Structure 1
Amino acid sequence: MTLIKSISGIRGTIGGRPNDNLTPIDAVKFAAAYGTWLKDYSKSDNLKVVVGRDARLSGEMIQNLVVSTLVGLGIDIIDLGLSTTPTVEIAVPLENANGGIILTASHNPKQWNALKLLNEKGEFLDATEGAIILQLAEKEDFNFAEVDELGKITRNNAYIDIHIDEVLNLPLVDADTIKKAKFKVVVDGVNSTGGIAIPKLLESLGVEVIKLYCDPTGNFPHNPEPLKEHLGDICKLVVKEKADFGIVVDPDVDRLAFISNDGEMFGEEYTLVACADYVLGKTKGNTVSNLSSSRALRDITIKHHGTYEASAVGEVNVVKKMKSNNAIIGGEGNGGIIYPSSHYGRDSLVGTALFLMLMAEKGGTVRELRDSYPSYYMSKKKIQLTPELDVDEILVAMEKKYSNEEVSTIDGVKVDFPENWVHLRKSNTEPIIRIYTEAKTQAEADTLADRIIDEIREIAGI
């Protein structure tokens, strides 16, 4: 059982002992720390926070704890109930709120949950702000409100519909163009809130929807990370239904993957590539993704005469680089689309609409679209952390070993070879070292990853 404290939020497994897992005590403590920071940061006595959650089994319990804690601090709550991460992100500025909390462990299995924290812009907190909240939680120096100053709760279940309207109103999204294409799409909502939001969006765009695992019970029918090995059911159903393609989202709907019409993975990395191809074809500009993302985005950006830059892993880092680079689209290779014309957050609803526009205008099949892009193949592997593993020592040793290559250390260690690359970093969301590689064939990517893992094990003596 695990509790991870990072700028990505407070994430842990349900049950067990306080401070080792995400127990009720930990949920209250970190909610109180966030509320205390917000009161100081906002310099206001009349605070408002938007709260929403995915459908996982522990969600209602954690939300009740978090909301009651904030009310106890004198903070008013806009309770969205079942929602998505990007929906909460757009709700914060629309409600003129001082911050927001999404209760979701994103792609993690059902035993996990998390508090993901937002500022008044609906964007994730930066490292400095996150560190202050962790310190406040450690000190437990909280000052709760007296009875006449308790916060109030307002429930608003309309925000998924409001979010869809925001997507439909984007200048590069034309509902009539999509409706004329008469798409048929299978949706895997992994029995969470994507099963509500994505079909609603598609139906508003005149798309015929075949639902798979779209009942938001929180009983995930497969591992919720949208990777090929977890998606056999939708791959078969796309072919059986003769659908144009399939859509897969994670439980909080900020990661988006497509299944091609032949039942094969379009490639999580290529979600951003395709959406960027459409946006850059309409609007000249720059792009950003993180160090663990495919070179294909760089290639597409250059094709459209833009500039590509890479950031450290983590949405807040991508957003910061996008702002400095004036990027018009960016995100992460895990299927996270950030489109500033909507908001600075990964958004599967926006990504879906942009992809539908691309397909409607280009014509042809999704398989043909994928084949038109530069072909890169990735291997995403991991090493489970144990107390005897010194990650920093391992990374320093790997940096030294490959000092004659092009090496970046802004986030772990990334080694760029002429024909491929490897990125090693400690995860912010799981107790693992991630080993990502990319090459011109899957065999080369897997071989490089296995070689690097062997080198790490040799360095660590395991």
Structure 2
Amino acid sequence: MFGTSGIRGEVGDEVTAELALSVGRALASEGYQRVVVGRDVRESGTILVDALTAGVRECGGDVLEVGVAPTPTVARGVSWLEADAGVVITASHNPAKDNGIKLWSASGQAFDTERQAAIADRVENERYDLESWTGLGDRKRHEGLLERHAEAIRETVGDLEGLHVVVDVGNGAGSVTADTLVELGCSVRTLNGQQDGRFPGRPSEPNAETLEDLQQLVGATDADLGVAHDGDGDRMVAVDDRGRFVPKDLLLALFAREMAGDGERVAAPVDTSLAVDDALSAAGATVTRTAVGDVYVAERATEPDVVFGGEPSGAWIWPDETLCPDGPLAACKLAAMAARDGPLGETIDDLETYPIRRTSIDVEDRAAVMERVEETVRDREFEVDALDGLRIDHGDGWTLVRPSGTEPVVRITAEARDPERAEALFEDARGIVAAAADAVASVDAE
């Protein structure tokens, strides 16, 4: 039921009002009696909010509804409003046809695997503690969380007077970024600032291909940097002062180097570039790798010597401030670094980069293919980490073979410090997966 970042799927198929009602019932039945509920800009969210809040109330829980708000605003709001849990109705960076449900604990951390399992068990077995008419919960509207989120960021980030920033909101819920930067003294221009769940300005996922307008605007003006969000504002990616998209692995390296000192660790998933390891090594810090998904990064970030967590998807976590990926906070911290250190492009150019190759292979049976791949790599006595897929450490590089959690494909990634070595590792891994896929297909055809 839960993927790497909550529940997500196409409205009317995987995600329905019935599902939202069930999750609401499960939350209250599991003991979460005071629940903060918000949503992104998708119109389908209004129906799902109604259904989910009905489920919470039907089992005796009270709802504080905050309306359209970034995911990190709602996650932070759980503790601010002395609630037991938070819910955001959002499909994050997915297309407009999708929606989903993200659950947050009182610490601001996404529901971990144990809490997700408890909710899934109640939903799948319809184990709800329904109340009589005298025990139904309340639903109240709460205002002011956006302002409190902005205030919390301002307390963390110093004055940014004179900095010029372009913010691409992506028609989503992340307008708090532009508002906060203005309050910090920045000159701000916005792109796609009108909230619209159809995402007419660009696709909701911010990447080098979808941010052409942002890159052109920053490059053609005196802007110091550009930042962009996905639909619910938990992700943040950047464009430097020359209008170049900043590779997300390098953004992770930049944040990690800023935060970590001798003996400290940074949490990052198994597909993270060696550039992060090398950026940290000079400071005596290291990377601790997790499964792919910001929920797993956040779990690791609760450990005492982990000072930062990040995913190359654009999710950034400062555990001393919040265990939720906070796009507005990340945008303002990046702006502060540019104000202090000078042009972002020069800072990025100082970081080492290495060739990295990625592809996907279509398969009918992901589990069977992965089983054959594992047999092959272990027969060849590679050093294998099976935390999430199969990550093979070659010393001078690495390969990752990982089944997709949402598509019938197996993903292949390879990186090395030498381009020819990266290509060789990539081709070897691709050959192993292709052979495994052919073998499984042959067995199925018999």
- Contact 1:73–1:151, Cα closer than 8 Å, also in 2: yes
Partners of 2:369 and 2:119 in 1: how far apart?
A: 25
> Which piece of structure 1 moves more, 225-234 or 339-348?
225-234
Q: 2:203 aligns with which of 223, 242, 249?
A: 223
Partner in structure 1 of residue 267 of structure 2:
288
Change (3 A) 1:71 1:445: farther
TM-score (norm 2): 0.90
Partner in structure 1 of residue 7 of structure 2:
10
1:238-277 equivalent positions in 2, closer than 5 A: 238-277=218-257
- Contact 1:339–1:350, Cα closer than 8 Å, also in 2: no
Partner in structure 2 of residue 28 of structure 1:
21
Partner in structure 2 of residue 121 of structure 1:
107
1:99 aligns with 2:78: no
Change (3 A) 1:208 1:441: farther
1:320-399 equivalent positions in 2, closer than 5 A: 320-324=299-303, 326-363=305-342, 365-384=343-362, 386=364, 390-397=368-375, 399=377
- Contact 2:224–2:240, Cα closer than 8 Å, also in 1: yes
- Structure 1 residues 104-144: Cα deviation after superposition (integer angstroms, max 9, x where no partner): 11221111111111222221122222222212111112232
- Contact 1:437–1:448, Cα closer than 8 Å, also in 2: yes
Q: 1:88 aligns with which of 74, 91, 94?
A: 74
Partners of 1:61 and 1:384 in 2: how far apart?
A: 35
- Structure 1 residues 282-304: Cα deviation after superposition (integer angstroms, max 9, x where no partner): x9843221111122222222222
RMSD between superposed Cα atoms in Å: 2.5
Partners of 2:166 and 2:53 in 1: how far apart?
A: 35
- Contact 2:165–2:188, Cα closer than 8 Å, also in 1: yes
Change (3 A) 1:339 1:118: same
Task: Name structure 2 gaps, 5 residues minimum.
Answer: 442-446
Partners of 2:186 and 2:263 in 1: how far apart?
A: 29
- Contact 2:355–2:419, Cα closer than 8 Å, also in 1: yes
Partners of 1:93 and 1:442 in 2: how far apart?
A: 48
Partners of 1:431 and 1:5 in 2: how far apart?
A: 17
- Contact 1:8–1:428, Cα closer than 8 Å, also in 2: no
1:132-151 equivalent positions in 2, closer than 5 A: 132-151=118-137
- Structure 1 residues 229-261: Cα deviation after superposition (integer angstroms, max 9, x where no partner): 222221112122332221111111222111122
Partners of 1:230 and 1:449 in 2: how far apart?
A: 27
SS in 2 for 1:304: coil
Partner in structure 2 of residue 459 of structure 1:
436
Partner in structure 1 of residue 390 of structure 2:
413
Post-superposition offset of 1:184:
1.6
1:169 aligns with 2:155: yes
- Structure 1 residues 331-358: Cα deviation after superposition (integer angstroms, max 9, x where no partner): 2122211101211121112212221221
Partners of 1:313 and 1:441 in 2: how far apart?
A: 25
- Contact 1:57–1:110, Cα closer than 8 Å, also in 2: no
Partners of 2:69 and 2:158 in 1: how far apart?
A: 25
For these two proteins, the number of residue pairs brought into alignment is 438
- Structure 1 residues 407-437: Cα deviation after superposition (integer angstroms, max 9, x where no partner): 2111111112233322222344555433333
Partners of 2:41 and 2:423 in 1: how far apart?
A: 35
Identity %: 28
1:185 aligns with 2:173: no
Partners of 2:386 and 2:324 in 1: how far apart?
A: 25
Partners of 1:307 and 1:432 in 2: how far apart?
A: 31
Partners of 1:237 and 1:446 in 2: how far apart?
A: 35
Q: Which letter does structure 1 place at the counterpart of 2:20?
A: A
Q: Which letter does structure 1 place at the counterpart of 2:6?
A: G
- Contact 1:379–1:442, Cα closer than 8 Å, also in 2: no
- Contact 1:8–1:429, Cα closer than 8 Å, also in 2: no
SS in 1 for 2:227: strand
Q: Which letter does structure 2 place at the counterpart of 1:419?
A: D
Change (3 A) 1:443 1:113: farther
- Contact 2:2–2:116, Cα closer than 8 Å, also in 1: no
- Structure 1 residues 140-194: Cα deviation after superposition (integer angstroms, max 9, x where no partner): 1223222222211221232121111111112xx212xx21xx2222221111112
Post-superposition offset of 1:389:
6.5
Partner in structure 1 of residue 415 of structure 2:
438
Q: Which letter does structure 2 place at the counterpart of 1:228?
A: A
- Contact 1:7–1:130, Cα closer than 8 Å, also in 2: no
Partners of 1:272 and 1:7 in 2: how far apart?
A: 19
SS in 1 for 2:228: strand
Partners of 1:186 and 1:429 in 2: how far apart?
A: 33
Partner in structure 2 of residue 400 of structure 1:
378
